[in-house]
Every structure is written in C-alpha cells, then in structure tokens.
Structure 1
Amino acid sequence: MVSHCQTPSKREEYVNYLKKYIDIDIYGACGNKQCRKENNCNDVDDKYYFYLAFENSICKDYITEKLWYRGYNRPIIPIVLKRSIIENYAPPNSFIAIDDFKNTQQLANYLKDLMNDKEKYISYFDWMKEYKVIFLDGQNHDIAERPWGFCQFCRILHSNNKNFTRMQNFNEWWNGSCEEKGTLVKQHIN
C-alpha cells in the first residue's frame, strides 16, 4: 500500500531495483494494483509472504504505522528500511531490514530462500509465542486502552513524576534526526 510516490527516503528507487530480482506488486496511488477499500485492503496480504513497510523518511523514532497494521496484524513478514530504528520497538526476529544486506540482489536471494524454506520462514513468527500485538483502536480494545495508549499518556502528563527529559528545541531535534534524502537507499542499491 503506497500513498506517497516520491519520498525523502527514496524507497521507490529501492523498490525499482529490487523488482529486477523478485516480483513485487504495488497497491495504492503509486502502483498498478487495486484492492477493496471496504475491508481496508486486508484481503491483499493473504497472498504474500512479505510486506514492504518502508518509511517515507528515515528519522530516529519514526516508524510507519503500516508496520503495525500490515506487518504485525497478519501472518506476513515485514521488511523495513533500517534495523536500528525498528529493533527497539518490534519483537525480536520478527522483521527483515534492508540494511542487513549488501544490496538488493542479496536481499532478493534471501527472500527467495525463505519462501522455499518453510521452517526458516515460520521462525519469523516465533515471537508470537511470547508477545501479543494489541491495537488500541478504541472500538475493540477499550479495556486494554486504559493502562496504555492515550489514557496512559494523559496519566503521565498529569502525574508529579519528576523523571523526565526536556528538549530545548523540539523542531531542531526532530528535523535533525532524519537522514539526508536517499542516503540509505544509495548505499544499498546495485
């Protein structure tokens, strides 16, 4: 599902190189495939082994919401751009990162190997034995929402806890945390 066709991360360039070595279907505004909007395109993922959960921008602490809704809400392995951004937030051995590979061809070969090795492919779902993803959507998980999510955020804001970090210039921190346009992609394309 791609909604932004030209991105600061240059993910579209990476995908174009990767397509030389493995078949990739692109749904949404930037692709030639369409899905049923009435079910949020959920039927699409049932046909695939992997989901490209590539961010528009590569910034510290920025993870696309599609990683959670597409990658961890169904039996599909998400592929992300940069391991160091994701690994502190996602279950271990639950995703593939392009920066673990020298180039697009090496990644494509690994993906093909996984598709042919059922045991190795399934090992990417071992995290489900110890972890559970709960989506705090306010409709299906109201009970779970109380200790986490926005309710927890409000509790923290209104608490007298003095253990916090203050940023002098949030804009400088946020904008300064992003990589130069296309840096990662340039390093990993053939």
Structure 2
Amino acid sequence: MGAGERRTSLSHREKCCVLRRTCSSVCVATVGFVSILGVSLLWLPEPRIVDPLVSKVNSPVTILIWTQPFGHYSSLPDCSELYQIDQCTLTDDARAYLHADAVIVHHREVATGKADLPPEPRPRAQKWIWMNFESPTHTHRLRYFEGVFNLTMTYRTDSDIFVPYGYLFRNKGVQNHFVHPLRVPTRSRLHRPRLVVWVVSNWSESHARVAFYYSLSRYIRVDVFGRAGRPVPKDSTVVRLVERYQFYLALENSQHTDYITEKLWNAVQAGAIPVVLGPSRQNYERFLPPEAFIHVDDFPTVRGLARYLMMLRRNPARLRRHLNWRGSYSMHQASFWAEHYCTACNAVMRNRGRTDVVQHLTGWFES
C-alpha cells in the first residue's frame, strides 16, 4: 500500500504533517498516553499525523467490537476510567451496528470464516477498522479484504492506528500504573544465577528461531520453558522466571517490519539483556537504545555470539554497558485489548470525515 496511493487526499495531509510534525496532540500513536502520563515518549518513530477533518475533538462516538479476538470473551473497558478518553462508548452488541460510528473487525475470525464481515451497505460515514497483531506469515487471505476497510490498526508504525507491543518513556518524575520503571542493577545484582533462557509456546521446526536455538545450544546451555520445554512454574510468571537469567532469547516466530512482540518487552521488564531475532537492528533501534539488546545479526556466526555472551559474563564493565541505559527510562506494555479499543475510539473522534478505503492492504502489510 504505497503512501501515494492509499488515500485520495493524502498529498494534502502530507503537507499538513510537514507543517505540524511537532503537534503531538493529534498523533494517533500517542493518543491517550503522552497527555495522560505527562512523560516524553522516546525511541518510537513519529507516526503519521492525522488531521481532525470534521467535527470537534472528543465528540461522542460509539465503537462496535464485531468479534472478540480469538473467540476469547472479555468485558469491554471503560475508556474514561482507564485512559481519560471521554465520550467513548464500546459495545459488542451487533444490534448497535446501524448507529455505530466505527466497527473494529479482528482479522483472524473473518479470515477463517468463523465470522462474516458486517453487512453491506454500511451506515453513512461508518468506518470499518482492520485490526491485526499477527505477523504477515500468520495472516492469511488478505486479498479478500482489499477495498473493504477504512482504517488499519496494527503494530506497524505506518498504521492509521499504531499500537506497538511496548513503549519506552524517558523518566520525568511521573509514576503511575501505566509505566514500569526500569532499574540499573546494583553491583551485587549485576550477575544473575543463570545464563540464558528461552520461553516458547509455538514450536515449529520450520521456524528460523528453532534452527538458531539448535545452533546456539551447541556452544552454551539454554534453558527452555513452555510447550517445548519445562513448564513455567505455577507460582511464577514469565517475567519472574526471566529475572533469574542474564540473557533472554527474544526470538520472533517470523521476521517482518516492526514485528517486535511482548517477548522483547518481557525481557526488558525482567532486567535481562534480550538477544533478538526479528527485523533488522535498525528496526529495533527505532524502539530501543542500540545497547539495550544484542541482535543475532551482529555476529557472523552463532559461535561468535555464544563467545560474546560468555565474555560478558566474565566482564562486568562490558556487561554493564548493556544495562546502564535503564536508569533513564520506564516502559509500558500494551494491554490487550482494552488499550487497542480505547485508542481506536480516540482516533475515530479525530477522523470523522475520512470515508476513503484501504485499497492495497496485502501489498502494504506484506511489504
């Protein structure tokens, strides 16, 4: 979905974006968080700035959740209480379709035939939002939805509604339940009891990450938990488990632009140094400082990576270089799916006049 062919009036909005790049109040990706938290969002690329074309900001909207993702029912959030996004009504009652301002459609259900698309013709000016947080490798039948949706909501930075799996914030003395402060380990806590851990639920011999694991385990011990290894202790969580390890293998199931999931952010929260396999180093550096992670592509061989990890274990000064950045930042992990629904609600408030459609969904998402 090329930038020049997605929207009929895009050239006008691009000019507006250039003129208003410092105006974060209309930035979809930071809606509800920069203003709520009062902190500076860092390391995220600047998303598209969307003009409030019609109506005034914060006019009431109703969002219909067409299907609950993956068939798992959960109560809908109160956006005002959670994120101070007022005049937003969320419902999963299909009877609200005719007066809903927007409909959020989760890709998996309509792609697999477990649910149909909303009926046509859609009510005047109603927006259909395509929501998907799986990688292109695991997103099927996209070609059936060309020209159907008005807005995209994904982890990709160039989505209309951008909700990444995690954020970093520069510390500004503000602490609340949205952010998790990151600590630099003290000298006594710099070295952790165990070396490398990998928690994996989806094991497939065809995955590049499985081949990488086999290669790495030839040189150093890797403790594996999940369906393919030992179970995570019942009295623990993934983060608490990882807190015992120096390094965590944050290996994505496929490698695509911006596809950086909770695996990375679990490691960051736990204070382990993530060893990442996913998009390029340059892509990761749009979300994190360069020293905050070790990319498998940094080394010509897996053996070289293993040697580097062992060297860090023996060299406290070098090890600390991968951890000192933490003292200046806090992190936030997206809350599935409450945060997505409320962010979408805010975006719809600011985009009432947009009626054009996404013409090249497949080409864009798979690019």
Q: Which range, TM-score by smaller chain? A: 0.7 to 0.9
Q: Does 1:170 align with 2:364?
A: no
Q: Map 1:99-114 onto structure 2 (within 5 A).
A: 99-114=297-312
Q: Does 1:90 align with 2:281?
A: no
Q: Residue type matched to 1:104 in 2?
A: V
Aligned partners of 2:352 and 2:290: how far apart in 1?
31
1:80-123 Cα deviation digits (max 9, x unpaired): 11413312112331000000110100100110011111121122
Q: Residue type matched to 2:272 in 1?
A: I
What residue is the counterpart of 1:186 in the other structure? Answer: none
Within the candidate set 158, 168, 171, 2:349 is matched to 158
Higher mean Cα deviation, 13-22 or 86-95? 86-95
Q: Map 1:70-85 onto structure 2 (within 5 A).
A: 70-81=266-277, 82-85=280-283
Q: Which runs of 5+ in 2 are unaligned?
A: 1-198
SS of the aligned residue for 2:275 comes to: strand
Aligned residues: 165
Residue 65 of structure 1: how far off its partner (Å): 1.4
SS of the aligned residue for 1:5 comes to: coil
What residue is the counterpart of 1:66 in the other structure? Answer: 263
8 Å contact 1:71–1:77 — kept in the other structure? yes
8 Å contact 2:239–2:267 — kept in the other structure? no
8 Å contact 1:92–1:127 — kept in the other structure? no
Structure 1 residues 36 and 104, CA, compared in 2 at 3 Å: closer, same or farther?
Answer: same
Q: Residue type matched to 1:120 in 2?
A: R
Q: Does 1:47 align with 2:238?
A: no
Aligned partners of 2:261 and 2:248: how far apart in 1?
12
SS of the aligned residue for 2:306 comes to: helix
Larger radius of gyration: 2
Cα RMSD, aligned residues only: 2.7
Q: Tell me which protein shows more strand as a share of its residues.
A: 2
1:124-179 Cα deviation digits (max 9, x unpaired): 122222221123549xxx9xx7xxx65444323321499xxx853222322x33xx
8 Å contact 1:9–1:58 — kept in the other structure? no
Aligned partners of 2:301 and 2:358: how far apart in 1?
37
SS of the aligned residue for 2:348 comes to: helix
Aligned partners of 1:137 and 1:38: how far apart in 2?
22
Within the candidate set 306, 330, 333, 1:135 is matched to 333
SS of the aligned residue for 1:133 comes to: strand
Q: Tell me which protein shows more helix as a share of its residues.
A: 1
Q: Which runs of 5+ in 1 are unaligned?
A: 178-190
8 Å contact 1:62–1:85 — kept in the other structure? no
SS of the aligned residue for 2:330 comes to: coil
Structure 1 residues 158 and 124, CA, compared in 2 at 3 Å: closer, same or farther?
Answer: same
| Sequence identity percentage | 33
TM norm structure 1: 0.75
Residue 41 of structure 1: how far off its partner (Å): 3.4
TM norm structure 2: 0.41
8 Å contact 1:114–1:121 — kept in the other structure? yes
SS of the aligned residue for 1:60 comes to: coil
Aligned partners of 1:23 and 1:108: how far apart in 2?
10
Residue 38 of structure 1: how far off its partner (Å): 4.2
Aligned partners of 1:110 and 1:80: how far apart in 2?
14
Structure 1 residues 9 and 119, CA, compared in 2 at 3 Å: closer, same or farther?
Answer: same
Structure 1 residues 167 and 102, CA, compared in 2 at 3 Å: closer, same or farther?
Answer: farther
